[in-house]
Structure 1
Amino acid sequence: MPKSLTTSEPNILRPEDFDPPLKRKEPSLPGYWTLKEIATELNISFRRVGYDITGYPQKNIEPSLKAFKVGPIFLVSDENALEYIKRYRERKKS
């Protein structure tokens, strides 16, 4: 996360900082987001979020989201998920 120019502490995104507010009220696993939760939040396909984690060379999609693979599912930390959601929303506004 980038640091603020006025303080030495990094800027931390919180769910309350989003406008419009996030749809997810209760996490299925505290501290982490699943691919399905991120896809639902952004109204995109589950597969698209998966490609942003693993990459897809045939379509020239580079990995842009860090996640942990736990068995058959990927878990994204709150910090990374909120940053990804913010970037995606900003990209859609442009």
Structure 2
Amino acid sequence: MPKSLNTSENNILRPEDFDPPLKRKEPSLPGYWTLEEIATEVNLSTRRIGYDITGYPKKNIEPNLEAFKVGRILFISDENALEYIKRHRERKKS
């Protein structure tokens, strides 16, 4: 996360900071995103998002998203999910 020029604290992304706004209105678990919610947001398959979490050596995909598993569901913290969505949107623009 980039740091502010005025302070040593990290900048915090919020859902209100995105343009166009995020599609998710109500979180299934406050403070966390599910794999399906992120996939819907960035228009990728859940399998591709899963590869970004676990990595996939056959296709040279390195893990770049942290998540934890509860039962069969993967949860991603708000901070990591919003950072991932922002990176994906910026990559898509260029």
TM-score, scaled relative to structure 1 = 0.97
TM-aligned CA deviation for residue 6 of structure 1: 1.1
Return the offset for 1:19. 0.4
Q: Which runs of 4+ in 1 moved over 2 A?
A: none
Q: Does 1:44 align with 2:58?
A: no
- In structure 2, the partner of 1:57 is 57
Query: Equivalents in 1 of 2:87, 2:37: separation in Å?
Result: 16
Matched, 1:82 2:82: yes
Give % identity: 84
Q: SS of the counterpart of 1:74?
A: strand
**Structure 2: unaligned runs, 5 residues or longer:** none
Instruction: Tell me whether 1:4 sits opposite 2:8 in the alignment.
Output: no
> How much does 1:66 deviate?
0.4
**In the comparison of the two structures, how many residue pairs are matched?**
94
CA separation in 1, counterparts of 2:91 and 2:32?
A: 23
Rounded Cα–Cα distance in structure 2 between residues aligned with 1:44 and 1:20: 17
State the alpha-carbon separation in 1 of the partners of residues 28 and 51 from structure 2.
22
Q: State the TM-score, normalizing by the size of structure 2.
A: 0.97
Alpha-carbon distance between aligned partners in 1 of 2:89 and 2:8, rounded to the nearest angstrom? 27
Alignment pair present for 1:92 and 2:92? yes
